[in-house]
Chains A and B, each alone.
Chain A
């Protein structure tokens, strides 16, 4: 299925938490400042129903997303008040992909862990946790994965300040 087909199917099965979709578009020729949007289409999901949504994607026969290929987060900018949580789903049966995005307020960056639905999420969530400071509620093992256990701050946030030193080692 193409993106429109997947989106229609999600609407038809009334997928929990589905709030809309975002499609690439060309620039508006009348508006000089508008540059359009390039790239892939994605669906937007309410973070409160994140795991329920993923479960429907996995279990529905016509969607059939057996694999969670990637799960990551994005900090779109210092002034933006949300993080994005991005998931890439893949169906091997139907040979289609779906990009899913949830907007997560920076003030309350907690979302349910998807490990119960896809075990592939386990390490990706650990990485997002240490890099962005997002809490994945119900994660079985929320330790740091790439960074040392005592690392201060969340490096992939846009407002991250590089440390001056680490255990007496100068970083400048």
Chain B
């Protein structure tokens, strides 16, 4: 520290001060010595939601630069994909976005099915949709709850996890796992729903709808919460497009884009025709368009839209087989396919290449968290250090997916 003090040369000289003091400004600067300080936020910081390090350069309270450093959780998922058989890779997809494992299973299955060109039974598609949407709610509950936690609101987090616990129990009933499901398989789903499961999901929807309004009032409309998030971390629509942001990040900036509606896959085309759900957008209701509040509120509203989709599926589900007939050792026809689906965090893309063998040639995962993160380098400078937690939390990053 003493070396730094010696080397420090004041940026304002006595002569400057004399000029400035005549104009009546900056007199106080003479004895204030500031220099840029580099602070590592993470890899073990609770607000980074995992092991990510952000190198923050700060001038006093002001952030002048931010650089995310990744790779602490790199597990070579893509390399593993080139070394195990098509069906064996499925459990690995659970592990990248561990908060939305159903959606990951779905993305991978759809990509392989695009190459196989097989017909999926209708009941399986319905169960897939129900599970993916329920998992979206569970994921958004974590995002919303922990975001409050980051900003010092402890109570909503506990309520969110109570509701999520119920969802995890429902998943446990249908597939036996609470976090890494591997329930949606290539060709359909692993097994049919146990008796009474669909009725319990309907009951959950009813209860959740009631609770949801309470959470919204408790956190989203809380005056302190609004003060901490409105006008902070503004992403303009042009930035959102340039950085390739997807999901709630791009919708928070007011861009009307949802893959489920705009490029329908699975049964979503039918759901959109029935006009079941809306796509919530950021409106700049509490501050500027595209601020942290907008992004979080988009997620909160999406939970309710998911409930509507689940209800529609429960009304229209029919009996039937739940998985297509497939050989034990799957050989996928040569070719390549890219399938992007709407994950809770944005577009989850799988790019698979096959040469006709038992193992993939390439198994690329385009994780939405990975693609949504570089925006931090752009929006964090010129904010206050205290707001950096609010900005990082609003990207809803899952490190398992950025690092894969």
**A88 neighbours in B (Cβ, 8 Å):** 338, 340, 349, 351, 366
| A123/B370 in contact, CB under 8 A | yes
How many residues of chain B have a CB within 8 Å of chain A?
Answer: 45
| B257/A35 in contact, CB under 8 A | no
**A145 neighbours in B (Cβ, 8 Å):** 70-71
| A35/B356 in contact, CB under 8 A | yes
| B374/A119 in contact, CB under 8 A | yes
Complex formed: what's the CA distance from A77 to B356 in Å? Answer: 13
Query: Which of B362, B403, B404 has the most chain A CB atoms inside 10 A of its CB?
Result: B362
| A118/B370 in contact, CB under 8 A | no
**B355 neighbours in A (Cβ, 8 Å):** 76-77
**A59 neighbours in B (Cβ, 8 Å):** none
| A70/B338 in contact, CB under 8 A | yes
| B244/A120 in contact, CB under 8 A | yes
**A120 neighbours in B (Cβ, 8 Å):** 242-244, 371, 374
Q: Is B211 an interface residue (CB 8 A)?
A: no
* Bitwise interface map of B from 212 to 243 toward A, beta carbon under 8 Å scored 1, else 0: 00000000000000000000000000000111
Complex formed: what's the CA distance from A122 to B373 in Å? Answer: 11
Q: Is A113 an interface residue (CB 8 A)?
A: no
- A145-160 residues with Cβ-Cβ distance < 8 A to B are 145-148, 155-156
* Bitwise interface map of B from 82 to 115 toward A, beta carbon under 8 Å scored 1, else 0: 1000000000000000000000000000000011
Q: Is A52 an interface residue (CB 8 A)?
A: no
* Bitwise interface map of B from 228 to 265 toward A, beta carbon under 8 Å scored 1, else 0: 00000000000001111010000000010100001100
The number of chain A residues touching the other chain, given as a range, is: 35 or more
Q: Is A40 an interface residue (CB 8 A)?
A: yes
| B364/A146 in contact, CB under 8 A | no
| B337/A70 in contact, CB under 8 A | no
Complex formed: what's the CA distance from A76 to B355 in Å? Answer: 9
Q: Is B79 an interface residue (CB 8 A)?
A: yes
Q: Is B117 an interface residue (CB 8 A)?
A: yes
Q: Which residue of chain B is the closest to A37 with respect to CB atoms?
A: B335
* Bitwise interface map of B from 252 to 291 toward A, beta carbon under 8 Å scored 1, else 0: 0001010000110000000000000000000000000000
- B346-403 residues with Cβ-Cβ distance < 8 A to A are 347, 349, 351, 353-356, 361-362, 364, 366, 370-371, 373-374, 403
10 example contacts (A-B, Cβ-Cβ < 8 A) are as follows: A35-B334, A67-B244, A72-B364, A75-B362, A76-B355, A88-B338, A95-B262, A123-B370, A145-B71, A146-B74
Additional A-B contacts beyond A70-B351, A72-B351 (4; CB < 8 A): A69-B340, A86-B364, A88-B340, A97-B263
